[in-house]
């Protein structure tokens, strides 16, 4: 897919889902759009998007990898 300029996003590569119980980070350069995969548009539409320029920064804030677009999820 593509990087987003909607919601809180301004072209950043990584998008964290702030929804309680989710706390995962997505790589928009490797987004998976199949059923029940990344669902980036739904995250943005719900207002649960938090932009990051680096995966390390998102991990420092406690976000886990999305199992679809990054892999190696610890959940």
Q: What is the pLDDT of residues 7-64, one digit of tens each?
A: 999 999 999 999 998 999 999 999 999 999 999 999 999 999 999 999 999 999 999 9
> Which residues, including other chains, have CB under 8 Å from residue 75's CB and lie 6 or more apart?
24, 64, 67
Summary count for the chain: helices (H), strands (E): 2, 4
More confident call, 45 vs 73: 45
**Reported confidence tier of residue 73, pLDDT bands at 50, 70, 90:** confident
pLDDT of 2 reads 85
Residue 74 has pLDDT above 90, yes or no: no
């Amino acid at each position: 897919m593509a990087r987003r300029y909607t919601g809180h996003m301004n072209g950043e590569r990584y998008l964290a889902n702030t929804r309680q119980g989710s706390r995962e980070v997505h790589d928009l350069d490797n987004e998976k759009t199949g059923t029940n995969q990344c669902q980036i548009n739904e995250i943005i539409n719900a207002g649960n998007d938090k932009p990051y320029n680096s995966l390390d920064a998102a991990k420092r804030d406690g976000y886990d990898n999305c199992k679809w677009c990054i892999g190696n999820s610890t959940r």
